[in-house]
Amino acid sequence: MTQGAIIFAQNNSAVDYIKLAVFAASRIRQYLDIPVSIVTDSPDWLAHAYPDHGFDQIIIIGYSDTTQYKKFHDGTIASKTAEWKNLTRDQVYDLTPYDRTLVIDSDYILNSSVFKPAMDNHYDFQIYSKSMDLASWRPTDEFYRINQYSIPFYWATTFIFEKNSVTQAFFDLIVYIKSNWLYFRTLYGIVDAKFRNDFAFSIAIHIMNGKTNGQFAVELPGKMTYSKDKDILINTDGNKMKFLVEKKDHIGEYTLVKTTGLDVHVMNKISLSRYIDGGSGV
C-alpha cells in the first residue's frame, strides 16, 4: 500500500502558497519520511521560483475563478484582502496518487513525527476535532461546534484517509454539500455565506455518522495546535517555534510564546512567508 502527503497550493495576491507548500513539504519529509505531492494551478511558478522543490508529483488543476474573498491579517494591525481559493479540497480522492494520504495545509508546520503511527493505521478517515490555541485567553467556541447549538467542528486543515468505497462516498458527499451550500448552511445555522471546508467536512462527517455520535471519523493523535492570524511567527529552530501572540485588550501588543515538538497551524501566512524568505517573521 502506497503512502504519501498532498498539499494544495493556489496563489493569490497576498500569499505565495507554493512557497509555503515547499517549506511544509520539507518538514513532512524530515519528520515522516514519506513522499509529498503538490496540487496547484501554477506549475510554471513552481518550476521558475522553486526548481529544487522536491515534490514527488505535481498535480495540475485548472484555475478556478471564485468570488470568495478573505481578509488576511498580519498581526493585530496590518491586513490584506485577497481572493480565497478553497474550493478544490473535495477533489483530493480523485487527485491523490497514494492509497493512504495525509492531506495537509501549506501553513501547517510539522515539528514532530506524531502522524507516523496514524499513517500506519487502517482507519478509513482520521481528522482533528480537538484543538488548542496558543493564546490561552481567546475563546475557542468557534472551533468546538459550527455554531453554539449545532454539530461538532472538525478541522479540514489536516486529515488522513484510505482510498476505498467508504471514503469515496464521503468525498462525493462533500461535493454535493458544496454544490448546495446555501441549503446546507441554512440547515446547519451557519451565518457566514462563504464556503468553508471545515464546515463542509463537519456536516459530511455528521451525515456519515448517521447524524449521531458515530465512528466514521477517528481522532488524529494529540490536538490541533494553532496560532491565529493576529499572531506573528518569529522563527523556527529545529523543532522549536517562537511566536508573538496577541495580548488581550491591547491592540498592537504581544506576548512571546515558545513551542517545542508541537506541530502548529500557522494562520498568519504572511509572517510565515516572511520567515521563509529571511529567517524572521517580523
pLDDT tens digit sequence for 59-111: 999 876 666 888 999 999 999 888 888 889 999 999 999 999 999 999 999 99
Task: Report the C-alpha gap between 266 and 26 in whole angstroms.
Answer: 16
Supply the pLDDT for residue 128. 98
The residue ranking higher by pLDDT, 144 or 86, is 144
3-state DSSP assignment of residue 85: coil
> Lowest-pLDDT range, 121-130, 188-197, 252-261?
188-197
**What percent of the chain is predicted at pLDDT more than 70?**
97
What's the one-letter identity of residue 139? P
Supply the pLDDT for residue 66. 65
Q: Give me the mean pLDDT over the 16-22 stretch.
A: 97
**What percent of the chain is predicted at pLDDT more than 90?**
86
Supply the pLDDT for residue 261. 97
Supply the pLDDT for residue 141. 92
Supply the pLDDT for residue 70. 87
Supply the pLDDT for residue 281. 54
Q: Give me the mean pLDDT over the 151-157 stretch.
A: 97
Supply the pLDDT for residue 62. 84
Q: Give me the mean pLDDT over the 33-38 stretch.
A: 98
Supply the pLDDT for residue 65. 60
CATH architecture designation of domain 3-70+84-224: Alpha-Beta Complex (3.90)
Instruction: Give the bridge partners for 232, in sequence order.
Output: 244
Nearest by Cα to 81 from 2, 151, 12, 17: 12
pTM recorded for the entire structure: 0.95
Supply the pLDDT for residue 130. 96
Supply the pLDDT for residue 67. 66
Supply the pLDDT for residue 282. 59
Q: 100-104 and 3-9 as β-strands: parallel, antiparallel, unpaired? A: parallel
> Lowest-pLDDT range, 80-84, 165-169, 213-217, 250-254?
80-84
Task: Report the C-alpha gap between 12 and 146 in whole angstroms.
Answer: 27
